[in-house]
Structure 1
Amino acid sequence: MTRRAAIIAFSLVVAVGLLGLRSWDVALGRIQRVVVGAIEERTGIVVGAVERAEIALLPLPRISLSQVGFSRRDGALSGEAVRVRAHLRLLPLLSGRISFDRVDLIAPQIDIVIPAASEGVSEWLAAPLAALERLRSQSKIVISAGSVFLRADGAIRSTVRDLDLVIDERGPGEPLALAGSLNWRGVPTEVSLLWPMAGGSTKAALSATSSLLKLRFEGTRAGPGEPMISGPLALSTPSLTGLLGWFSTQSRLASALGALTLSADIQVKPREVSFNNAVVSLDGDRLDGVVKLAQADGRFALSGTLAGAKLDLGRLVDRLPIPAVDAADPSPLDLDAWTAHDIDLRVSVDAARLEGARLTDVAIYLLVKKGRFETGLIRAGAYGGSLKSRLLASAAPAGVDVKLQAGLDKVNIGQAASDLPQLARLSGIGSLQLVLDGAGRSFDALIGSLTGKVNLALRQGELSGIALGELLRRAERNPAQALRDWRHGKTPFETLTANAGIANGLLVLTEAQMSGQNYRFNLTGSASLSTRILDMAASLSSPNGTPKLPFLLRGPLDAPVFDIAADALLSPAGASPIPLTR
């Protein structure tokens, strides 16, 4: 080639390059119509208004549409984008055909219509996934800096912002694959999805990562003849309450759970998810079993059976927003908030902690229906004895009907005192039976209506902080010295019994006695459950009844005053009281 020919060829290459690098305005004519039709065919999106169209050949051929309005023919989706860019395939273009393998939506604002009665993310995604399923094939779709508005009856139900998503190209029968990031309700989240579009048993996968959730699922999705998803699932959250709130679900009972991890083999059917071979970790306490979550008539229903080595029940109870039992609080009892979801859950563990107490071989249950809340200890070992309890609250014409039953049998109080400081002054083998029943619209009405009974029995124990036997001997020798330095020492007893009846919120002792080798201590009186004020009197005497030393037990339940009646020391029957001085 001569020098002249080389210069001409080089000039032609430069000219072609300059032309290819330049974006050319294209009239809204044949090329644009062909491109718009191809976009609709390959994405299912109908392009409406277009402000401007441009074509560039280098470095790769592409067509850009500015200020584009788009929608679906069924009206389920609409929106607009600052720019829609279609990347053309080179070989078809050389043969005179327009075909492309990628569509970019730049800063789109997308409106998706959801059913007014939809109740969750799965129902919100149903329509978009169904629309993609109807496409036999689809180009690669890249969404950058997008926003999605979910609307029901014209009102925005939820918004997704900062949407950066890549939906991979797929051919006939191939699965939908997407990955990217988004910001939903203020929480940035990374997501990826592999969703089968054909019948038969096909691989499906989902992962989501945010500050509230780490989720990973890899399994299969059955075809239309048997719509079921199954496979292993792993989920963790630092706060179950925060996670449920992210999905606009509130549950007072769920607030008992803090950090949660779950792994299971799941089966997902319409409105039902089964968790088989489930491993649940609650703040590090592991439970194994099966759980099912279903939805019917607008209510979630949770059921399951779990077992483990240990569980801190006290920590779970402390997190519950249980209102203080205060008769001065006129607020109505809110049973509906505690029975918003159906629950049938049974848990058994080898060991448990409950407000400091150590329990063994524990079985608990929780049954919740609309307007009915029931929970209790089916069984529990406690310091050589056993413990049972049952709490039932149900809606009633008078407000909330509450029934409480609790029982201790052959519990070693001395051993329990090592874990429960409030029992530090008492020892012995004890049994307790408590039955309460009442109804009301507020705590004041409920407590004022309580009826029931309490029976307490201890044997072979000791009461510290007072030496009743020694006090009695001192009173016999010198009554005037009986009041001095009597608040120390120990009182061993053979039996301690207390029986009380409860009516209209007032507890009345029918029998209360503590007996030792050389003394008898009797207690009478009452206690108001509403005001929690004690008004009781006691007497200390020798087995033959003389002398008698009077006591008073009065004041608030949490800090009562227990003292000798300083105005008199009762002498044997028939004698005059002997004044005492300190």
Structure 2
Amino acid sequence: MTTISRSSQEARAENLEIAPWRQLAGGALVLIVAALGILAPRLFSQATLASFIEKGACAELGAECRVSGPIHAHLLPLPAIDAQEVTLSLPDGRIAIRAAHATAELRALPLIAGRISVNHLDLEGARIDLLAPAGGMRLLTSANDAGAALLESIAAADRAGNRLTRVGIDRSRLVIRSVGAKAPMEVESFSAEIDLPRRGGEFFGHLKGAIGGEIAELHVSGPSLAEVARSEGSAVKVDALLGQNWLSYRGRLVKAPDLVAAGTLEASFPSLQHLFRPLRRFTWPPWLSDMDFHLAGQVFVTSRGVDFENSEFAVGRSHFAGGLSLRTTSDGRPSLSGTIATPLVEFADLSWLRPAEIALPAFDRLPDLDLRMSVRRVRFGSARLDEIAAGLILAKGRLDVTLSQGLETETGAKVHIVATPDAGEVAVKAQASCESLDVGTLLSSFSAHPVLTGTGGFNVSLEGRGGTLDALAHALSGKANLQVKKGVVSLPDADAEPLASVVSEKPLVASLAPALRRFSEANFAGAVENGIWKINEGWIGEGVSQIAVDGTV
């Protein structure tokens, strides 16, 4: 049996009598807090709220701002400020934002202490002007130092807390201005969601808009602040889309102590002409047909630059494999070097080209290049060349090209070309030689009925200058020699159509009926003046059957 004392019964009765008063007091307190949350912001004038934003919230973000429209503030359910016609800018002028509507969500505890701390910032109907940093590709050189400093500042802010953690943008317009672009890049219908790392978490960003009428998207996931300092690093994913062009990167980012990124990159660009169109310093040559480009391989980003290893490249119908390194010059231009190989390089029929319309490039505006390439076969329409090795060096406005044809055990053709800009034109020096050349195959590329066949060698030394390919061809001067052994010469009739584009002040041969004549040796030597080869010493055959030849080609 349980015994309840009289004192316990009296205490319970007293508690029952007091409980309703406690509930009423709690409810009244809630109503008072709600009323204060609703009415307190209304007690401040628009000028006070504007000063509160300009000197408090914007200063906390490190920006300068101005509010021209109405302002509304509320404390419930979360402290926030809504403002219209807001202008924000960074002191260095890199970013300027004019938003039709801006909402800043504030943290409650710092607000009670009289300090502004913006947690989320949302912009709507904004025009965002972004000035790309000057220096071009030089940013790659210092990307790790700057990136490491940026990552450290974000980590320090995350440890301190009370910072901006999310930015939302909707129905806005992004304008990116750059020194190297023909015109600013404009992104219409721009929207973005950016989450900065919190408590060692990872970065997340999703941007979407329209560029030139094409849908553009950028999705970034990672890195994680807690994992990036570990030996294995943090996972990073990047996906970019522009119309039919796309890029995908999967890798890891590690800070040890500099930032190093390693992963795989895949990219596809169906139209290179369309891709390079926005660049101010590059104009797609009208004589060059458009091509697609594909890339897949391993990519490493370090303080030195970007390295592509075990990569495969496809340009049009030609496929390349090898490694490339992207660096930067002292004046900010990209510098590309490496070694690649391909089984086949195909060019369309070049007979339709008009040399007068092909302008020679200004080498000082092009990227620096140091490339080595080996090609098993090159096709020009119906003609072909096998076993080509090429070296290309472009540095300090000087182009140096070396070509060799044939296996190492054979003696093939060799070409060396040096080109430099000269008073708005291009000065060229070229040397070419070969000890084993199929003359008939070479001439068949220019005529269906070659006038000369056989195996021989040549030696050519030329120089000239011009602004177009046609002007350069008509300005070349130098020497040219051709020796042919064991061949056949076609001796045309005087009234017949010429079998080759040969123009001579004297007939090629005199008093000979049209015939095919075999010979054991032929030699042609002369000087080149203004693009015309003047043969001043030429003969075909030996002994009494020897034929003297002179003329111009």
TM-score (ref. length: structure 1): 0.66
* Partner SS state of residue 198, structure 2: coil
Amino acid across the alignment from 2:260: M
Q: Which residue of 2 aligns with 1:437?
A: 462
State the 1:409 CA deviation: 3.7
Distance 1:496 1:422, change over 3 A: farther
Amino acid across the alignment from 2:84: S
Distance 1:138 1:196, change over 3 A: farther
Distance 1:221 1:43, change over 3 A: farther
Name whichever of 41-50 and 254-263 sits farther off. 41-50
Q: How does 1:267-416 map to 2 (within 5 A)?
A: 267-270=300-303, 272-298=305-331, 299-312=333-346, 314-315=347-348, 323=356, 336-337=362-363, 340-380=366-406, 386-395=412-421, 400-413=426-439
The 1-side partners of 2:447 and 2:171 are apart by 61
* Partner SS state of residue 205, structure 1: strand
Question: Once the two structures are superposed, what CA deviation does each residue of 1:529-550 show, in whole Å capped at 9, x if it has no partner?
Answer: xxxxxxxxxxxxxxxxxxxxxx
Distance 1:73 1:511, change over 3 A: closer
Matched, 1:119 2:136: yes
Q: How does 1:203-222 map to 2 (within 5 A)?
A: 203-211=235-243, 213-222=245-254
Matched, 1:235 2:267: yes
Q: Which residue of 2 aligns with 1:176?
A: 203
- Is the CA contact (8 Å cut-off) linking 1:85 and 1:104 kept in structure 2? yes
* Partner SS state of residue 306, structure 1: strand
Name whichever of 296-305 and 194-203 sits farther off. 194-203
Distance 1:247 1:227, change over 3 A: farther
Q: Which residue of 2 aligns with 1:265?
A: 298
The 2-side partners of 1:319 and 1:166 are apart by 51
State the 1:306 CA deviation: 0.4
State the 1:412 CA deviation: 4.0
Question: Once the two structures are superposed, what CA deviation does each residue of 1:261-304 show, in whole Å capped at 9, x if it has no partner?
Answer: 11121122346211111111111321110111211122321111
Question: Once the two structures are superposed, what CA deviation does each residue of 1:395-432 show, in whole Å capped at 9, x if it has no partner?
Answer: 56997542222334434455667x73625345643223
The 2-side partners of 1:500 and 1:485 are apart by 22
The 2-side partners of 1:397 and 1:82 are apart by 52
Distance 1:316 1:160, change over 3 A: farther
Amino acid across the alignment from 1:80: R
Distance 1:118 1:145, change over 3 A: farther
Matched, 1:501 2:526: yes
Distance 1:290 1:451, change over 3 A: same
- Is the CA contact (8 Å cut-off) linking 1:294 and 1:301 kept in structure 2? yes
The 2-side partners of 1:446 and 1:194 are apart by 55
The 2-side partners of 1:503 and 1:232 are apart by 52
Distance 1:157 1:462, change over 3 A: closer
State the 1:105 CA deviation: 0.6
Question: Once the two structures are superposed, what CA deviation does each residue of 1:499-551 show, in whole Å capped at 9, x if it has no partner?
Answer: 222164464323323339995432223x3xxxxxxxxxxxxxxxxxxxxxxxx
Q: How does 1:155-166 map to 2 (within 5 A)?
A: 158-162=184-188, 163-166=190-193
* Partner SS state of residue 104, structure 1: strand
- Is the CA contact (8 Å cut-off) linking 2:219 and 2:238 kept in structure 1? yes
Greater relative contact order (CA < 8 Å, ≥ 6 in sequence): 2
The 2-side partners of 1:63 and 1:375 are apart by 64
- Is the CA contact (8 Å cut-off) linking 1:206 and 1:218 kept in structure 2? yes
Distance 1:229 1:248, change over 3 A: farther
Amino acid across the alignment from 2:136: E
The 2-side partners of 1:121 and 1:212 are apart by 29
- Is the CA contact (8 Å cut-off) linking 2:202 and 2:223 kept in structure 1? yes
- Is the CA contact (8 Å cut-off) linking 1:143 and 1:166 kept in structure 2? yes
* Partner SS state of residue 144, structure 1: strand
Amino acid across the alignment from 2:457: L
* Partner SS state of residue 297, structure 1: coil
State the 1:315 CA deviation: 4.1
Distance 1:289 1:120, change over 3 A: closer
The 2-side partners of 1:214 and 1:321 are apart by 35
* Partner SS state of residue 209, structure 1: strand
Structure 2 regions of 5+ residues with no counterpart?
1-30, 495-509
State the 1:381 CA deviation: 6.2
The 1-side partners of 2:106 and 2:522 are apart by 93
The 1-side partners of 2:55 and 2:200 are apart by 22
Matched, 1:451 2:451: no
Distance 1:318 1:165, change over 3 A: farther
State the 1:455 CA deviation: 1.7
Q: Which residue of 1 aligns with 2:26?
A: none
2:126 aligned to which of 98, 108, 127: 108
The 2-side partners of 1:173 and 1:321 are apart by 62
The 1-side partners of 2:138 and 2:371 are apart by 25
Q: Which residue of 1 aligns with 2:507?
A: none
* Partner SS state of residue 170, structure 1: coil
- Is the CA contact (8 Å cut-off) linking 1:408 and 1:430 kept in structure 2? no
The 2-side partners of 1:388 and 1:423 are apart by 26
Distance 1:397 1:503, change over 3 A: farther
C-alpha RMSD of matched pairs (Å): 5.0
TM-score (ref. length: structure 2): 0.69
Amino acid across the alignment from 2:86: V
Q: Which residue of 2 aligns with 1:9?
A: none
State the 1:53 CA deviation: 3.1
* Partner SS state of residue 196, structure 1: strand
State the 1:144 CA deviation: 0.9
The 2-side partners of 1:406 and 1:259 are apart by 33
State the 1:433 CA deviation: 1.1
Q: Which residue of 1 aligns with 2:537?
A: 511
